[in-house]
Each structure stands twice: as structure tokens, then as C-alpha cells.
Amino acid sequence: MQRMKVVLGHLGGGGGQPRTSPCLGLSGSPRSVAVGNPEDVVVVHGRRTPIGKSKRGGLKDTTPDELLAAVMTAVLKDLNLSPEKLGDICVGNVLQPGAGALTARIGQFLSGIPETVPISCVNRQCSSGLQAVINIAGGIRNGSYDIGLACGITSENVAERFGVSRKKQDAFALASQQKAARAQQMGWFKNEIVPVTTTFTDDQGNEKKITVLQDEGIRPSTTLEGLAKLKPAFKENGTTTAGNSSQVSDGAAAVLLAKRSKASQLHLPVLGVLKSYAVVGVPPDVMGIGPAYAIPVALEKAGLTVNDIDIFEINEAFASQAVYCVEKLGIPLEKVNPLGGAIALGHPLGCTGARQVVTLLHELQRRGKRGYGVVSMCIGTGMGAAAVFEYPGN
């Protein structure tokens, strides 16, 4: 039997024409899912931890390897998939020293995946979790293995150059909080979240066992008036504030991918089909515009347009850049981050891309209809990445 591969990504605590790097073409006709090409790269399953407030939330004393182990274990257990079937692990990492290889390897051992399964790490800044997914998809596509797990364990220039007002940014931030609060209240995150039982040290130095069940950054009481009172974060007269920016957070996510024929052989479900991926370069001083240029390339490769997409999961690094990208592409706001984004949920750097894939596909599954989704984010140093997925329907 061919060895299989796991990809893991862990937590990390516009002038001119952007340059496009080679993109990964993953499918033929974008509308062939009903029949199912045995060579398709499919998403089998995905889970994530709750996203905790960095340095003060329920996961503040939980190590990256423990968070990784939680999601790795959950994905394999949910599917009753033997870890010995896995052929490799690739970890998306941003802030861990030494590329995070040691942390990832420990997380692997804690999850029960044997030492015979090798491991590697990848860092593409905020898109590291998505890059891990794509690295595994590429390996499946080129025949190196048949199945793998991808996991993850952070503006002012955009606002000034492109005229994104403070009012627009605050309104976008409020919507993110409201959508996330509603999703949490309705229980729409329940199927994707793995509860984490951990040790927590309070302000008095007392240790206790707690179980973190839900995202901690959501603020249902947020108002426009409250957001308007916050001071600018970077410049005295700036428009970016703590309220309209992503939160610094802790968390992990895991996405299991496979060749469709292997998924069928192992009687594994198909949660989604990876249709295309693109990464582009943009000016570093306005790196936040990356999704505005990566998304069209990914859509073109998938043979789709903005109108064909049901959900856009665009990382909310800052409201300024998210608003610009949405308006630049003409995306209806109701299609953008319907369960809230990083402003409300948080942005664990190496995890976000994988977390977005998990949230996207679980939401398409909840809706029950065949549809398309896009995951995209800006990337530090001046890049943007985007991937297109198709949910085949219930």
C-alpha cells in the first residue's frame, strides 16, 4: 500500500501589477464533481480547536504541540483512520523558533502518530496553514502519496492609499462580531471545534484543569459607538484600531486531504474538492491588498467567477484591507465571512489558513447544497494567496 501524507500547521502566537508565482492546477472541469474524477484532490475532514485570547485566555498555558495533538487526534479518531497509514507531516509555522520542526514532531508523538511517519514544516507568513494544505495537495497530485493531513497551530497604508474610511472599517468590524456571535449562539461552530482540556494558571498563580469549548474573542456587545472611541493603533491620526483589526490568538486546525480514489477505497467521506490555488506578489507596503489579486487568479484557474462563489473566507487581518479587497472585487458583503472572521474570532498566524478551510467546508455542509467557496488572505512581506473549494452537496 502506498504511504500517505499528513500536513500540519501550528499556531504562531498598490502600485504596479502584482507578480504571480506558479499556481497549482488541481482539476479539469470545475463542474465534474457530481460524477467524481478519481484523481481529484478532496478534503475528507477537518477540525479546529477553540481560538483563545493570547496571553490571557483559556489556552494561554497550553503549548503549541498540545494544541496540534488535539486536532490531529480528533481528525483521525473521527474517521477511525489508523495513523500508520499516514506517510508524512508538514507543519505550517510562523513564530516558532527553528522553523517549528521540534514542536511539530512532539505534537505528532502526543497524538499517537508513530515515529515512522516523517515530518516537515513550511512558513509563508499568514498563509502558512493554507500553504500546508497546498503542499499536501501537490504531493497527492504528483503521486508521492494518496492521503495527508494539513494543520496549523498576524494597514494603515492601505487605508490611506485607497481611501478606506474609519467609518467603513468600524462597520465591517461590527458586522464580523455580530456574525460570529450569531454563529456561536446558534451552535454553528460545534461540529468543527475540538474541546481542549488543559491546565490554566490564574492571576494568583493557582493551577486548575479547564476545558475550553468555544472561541473567546467574540464580543456580542460591540457597538459602532464603542468602536469609534478606540484610539488609532499605529498613527496619531490613523484609522486602524484594536477594534477593527485581527486579534492575537492561540489555536490549531487540521485538514485531512486525499486522492478521491483513495478516499473511496478507505470508505472516507468527501467534505470538499480542492479546485485551484494561487499565490501572488504585491507591494510590501500595502501587503493587505493581496486577496484582491490572488482571488481572480485562483477563480480563473478553476473556471469560475466571483458570481459562482457562495462563500468567501477572507482573512480579516485589518478591516481596511478586507474592505478594500471586497470592494475591489465587487463581492456581496453577505457572502464574506458569514460566520465572522479574524476580527471576532482571532488570527493565530500559522493556523488561520487551515482554520478558514475547516470553517468554510463545515458551513457549506451545514447549508447542504452543492456550492463553491474561496479561502484567501494577505501575507506579510507583500503577497496574497487564495484557494477554491467545491462542496459536492448532501
Known active-site residue 151: no
Report the distance separating Cα 86 and Cα 68, nearest Å.
Answer: 16
CA angle 332, 48, 88 (to 5 degrees): 110
Report the distance separating Cα 333 and Cα 328, nearest Å.
Answer: 12
Known active-site residue 378: yes
Q: Which of 23, 90, 126, 351 is catalytic?
A: 126
Nearest residue to 35 via CA among 360, 299, 393: 393
Residue matched to cell numbers 501537490:
138
Report the distance separating Cα 232 and Cα 240, nearest Å.
Answer: 5
Q: Which of 10, 90, 325, 347 is catalytic?
A: 347
Known active-site residue 126: yes
- Catalytic positions: 126, 347, 378
